[in-house]
Amino acid sequence: MTQAAILFKEWSGYLKPEDITQLESAYHFSEAAHEGQFRKTGEPYISHPLAVASILAEWHLDTQALTAALLHDVMEDTAVTKTEISRNFGKPVAELVDGVSKLDRIEFETHEVAQAENFRKMLLAMARDVRVILIKLADRLHNMRTLDAVESDKKRRIARETLDIYAPIANRLGLNRIYQELEDLAFQHLYPDRYRVLSKAVKAARGNRREVVSKVMDSIKRRLKSSGVEAQVHGREKHLYSIYRKMREKHLSFAQVLDVFGFRILVKDVAGCYLALGALHSLFKPIPGKFKDYVAIPKANGYQSLHTTLFGPFGSPMEIQIRAIEMHKIAEAGVASHWLYKSSDTSLSDLQKKTHQWLQSLLEMQSQSGDSVEFLEHLKVDLFPDEVYVFTPKGKIMALPRGATAVDFAYAVHTDIGNRCVAVKINQDLMPLRTELKNGDRVEIITAAHAKPNPLWLNFVVTAKSRSRIRHFLKTMHYQESSQLGERLLNQALGALGSALGEIKGAQWDRFLRDAGAKSREEILADIGLGKRLAAVVARRLLPLGEPGSNEVPMPGSVIIRGSEGLAVQFAQCCKPIPGDPIIGIISKGQGMVIHTHDCPAIIRARHDPDRILDVAWDPDTRKLFDVSIKLVVANQRGVLAKVAAEIAGAGSNIQNVAVDPEDGSDYTNMYFTLQVSDRLHLARILRSLRGITEVVRLSRV
């Protein structure tokens, strides 16, 4: 009997006869398509699709998924088309095969871009049907099991990809067994020497501790029985990569990793979990701070269990996991348990709901990512959550990755809350938005109607959702503001030619857009605002030939700067111009207009390109505060900083930043302040106040 026939006989235990007939048909179709192809191991290629289908059959996946598994490489490696698969096996199977297939027929700039685009395609297909990723994970698992036959460089690349993407996705979907095997296989091929040494050490430790483990197991069984708890007790060994990760992250030697062995206790129900916990805590002393209750607060992937670490009989810590049998099934099979254990159990539907929410967040993330590489970067952030549990004001529990800040929490609640947040109360105390959240924090976000995301938030947010939402908002806002600035610049350039934007007819715009290869007026205006096109050139091309001034471009008048233009107009950090300073505008490609003081050394190069220079002038009624830097030389005496700060506050200014030169034993020292002022007159008032302090020897604007 062939391997295929043996497997079909096994699968008939849960599939109908007509399903087996379809699978046999798919097998013969795939075998014919792959005829003459061999794997690196030397086996006929059909052995691989058969192995992938076999892994999926362990989860009792349906016929469509198994059919797609048998056909998953035919579109990629043979001449078979999606239409052909659809005609023979139905549209759902064709969609599954297409979702798993790579974009091999499209040329990409680099391998990284190709890889990122393939992941994006696969994950979007997975968001529509989670079976796509189950087939892909089974495919990757079999490839990893047979990776020895692949050449060294490719082997390392595949192992790294598995560790970075596929193993974390398996973990995120609660597929614990596959997750651990993928990590160990990737570890073995990525760091073969470390794997070999660690594997040997674990085997030796297993032999040395066998007696201890059996003694502890016996005492646990006796205590549970005397406490009336019906339970199964199993010895448990950490998988190699998790031991290696712990050694690397905590800088430990193998001898210092004491919880290589632990115990798993399976009970009937939730009540049994807590009874078993009480019994064990009375047998061995628990280590404070090492208890985690994932039963009351499940992990995002649906995992439920009680974790406690106890002092063992010889002083070494032991990790214990306590869970109900249903929880154990979900812990091992994760999202696949939907097929494996058809049940109305609420934990299953909760898991499906959480998985669906995560998949939807992937769809939103990709729609707001500029390209596939950025999407993959967001995804990697999202796949490594070591979770923190916090409470909303109404007592709802939210899980966030470790290191998450108040801004991450705001975006987790809702995108609009994140975009409009201005402050946060953590446990009733007002705190900065960058504050890292801790387990048990009660978090309340304060919003304002006209608030918007700050680009600086990107320096401290950790979740993929908040990062992609902030970037999307800033890109959209930048585009809109650049478009508004472009409109002002173009109107000015047209005014200098004796025309106006309102006088340009639709036909003139259409002709210009066609010649320029642009999609819309907004695109042209945004390009002008971003410095990608010159307003004077666009104005000249918009006017019909022969119209007054169409060949000769006089200098347009000054652009009025209000200080509230947003991202399209930036104030140079080198000279920090403020209202009252003579200023000049430089069109900087991709940044829009950058405002400098007229004598700033940074604009010398721009003077050689007069098309980039614009006349600008301050609006008499600017209502914004501007940053300005000042330097003070002061007598090195106690209390001088407090005096200076009091004078600045008394003159109605905020201190944004302060720095003092290190102590060098001198009688004098330098102080540097960044202040917020409304204009030069305001700055003059502040400087006048500071000159009245006897300890201030010299002061100047930087």
pLDDT of residue 380: 57
The residues that are catalytic are 76-77
Measured distance CA(45)–CA(40) in Å, rounded = 9
Q: What is the mean pLDDT of residues 551-574?
A: 67
Question: What would you report as the CA-atom Rg of the chain, rounded to the nearest whole angstrom?
Answer: 33
Q: What is the 3-state secondary structure (H, E, C) of 532-586?
A: CCCHHHHHHHHCCCCCCCCCCCCCCCCEEECCCCHHHEEECCCCCCCCCCCEEEE
pLDDT of residue 346: 47
Q: Per-residue pLDDT tens for 254-279?
A: 777 766 678 899 999 999 999 999 99
Nearest to 220 by CA among 170, 163, 283: 283
Look at phi and psi of residue 146 and say left if phi exceeds 0, alpha if psi is from -120 to 50, else beta: alpha
Confidence of residue 550 (pLDDT cuts 50, 70, 90): very low
Query: Dihedral, CA atoms, 343, 347, 349, 352, nearest 10 degrees?
Result: -120
In the predicted structure, residue 108 carries a pLDDT above the cut 60: no
- Sheet order of strands, 668-677 included: 654-660, 668-677, 626-635, 696-701
Measured distance CA(140)–CA(134) in Å, rounded = 10
The pTM of the whole model exceeds 0.75: no
The CA angle 13-18-24, to the nearest 5 degrees, is 85
The CA angle 427-388-335, to the nearest 5 degrees, is 140
Are 491 and 451 a contacting pair, CB within 8 Å? no
What would the two tokens of residue 136 be?
């892909």
Distances (CA, A) of 186 to 155, 164, 183, 241: 9, 10, 5, 9
Count the alpha carbons within 13 Å of 319 in the hemisphere toward its beta carbon. Answer: 15
Confidence of residue 315 (pLDDT cuts 50, 70, 90): low
Helix (H) or strand (E) holding 525: helix 521-529
| Residue-averaged pLDDT of the chain | 82
With b for 16 or more beta-carbon neighbours within 10 A and e for fewer, the 232-245 pattern comes to: ebeebebbbbebbe
Confidence of residue 39 (pLDDT cuts 50, 70, 90): confident
β-pairing, 317-324 with 306-311? antiparallel
Distances (CA, A) of 472 to 119, 201, 455, 479: 21, 49, 11, 11
In the predicted structure, residue 245 carries a pLDDT above the cut 90: no
The CA angle 682-688-694, to the nearest 5 degrees, is 145
Q: Per-residue pLDDT tens for 166-199?
A: 888 888 777 888 989 999 999 999 999 999 998 8
Domains of the chain by range and CATH? 3-190 (1.10.3210.10), 194-342 (3.30.460.10), 471-618 (no CATH), 626-701 (3.30.70.260)
pLDDT of residue 554: 43
In which residue are the tokens 């490839």 written? 143
Measured distance CA(692)–CA(539) in Å, rounded = 54
| Residue 176, helix vs strand vs coil | helix
Measured distance CA(89)–CA(72) in Å, rounded = 13
Q: Which amino acid is at 173?
A: L
**Residue 105 dihedral angles phi and psi, to the nearest 5°:** -90, 5
Q: What is the mean pLDDT of residues 642-662?
A: 91
Nearest to 325 by CA among 341, 311, 312, 339: 341
Are 49 and 70 a contacting pair, CB within 8 Å? yes
Q: Which amino acid is at 86?
A: S
Of 291-300, 307-316, 544-553, 578-587, which gets the smallest average pLDDT? 544-553
Of 94-108, 288-302, 319-333, 461-475, which gets the smallest average pLDDT? 94-108
Helix (H) or strand (E) holding 592: strand 592-597
Q: Which amino acid is at 112?
A: E
Instruction: Using the Cα atoms of residue 4, residue 8, residue 11 and residue 13 in order, give the sign of their dihedral.
Output: negative
Distances (CA, A) of 167 to 141, 163, 194, 241: 10, 6, 19, 11
DSSP secondary structure letter of residue 336:
G
DSSP assignments along 86-110, one per residue: HHHH-HHHHHHHHHHS--TTS--SS
CB atoms within 10 A of CB 155: 17
pLDDT of residue 278: 93
Measured distance CA(245)–CA(448) in Å, rounded = 43
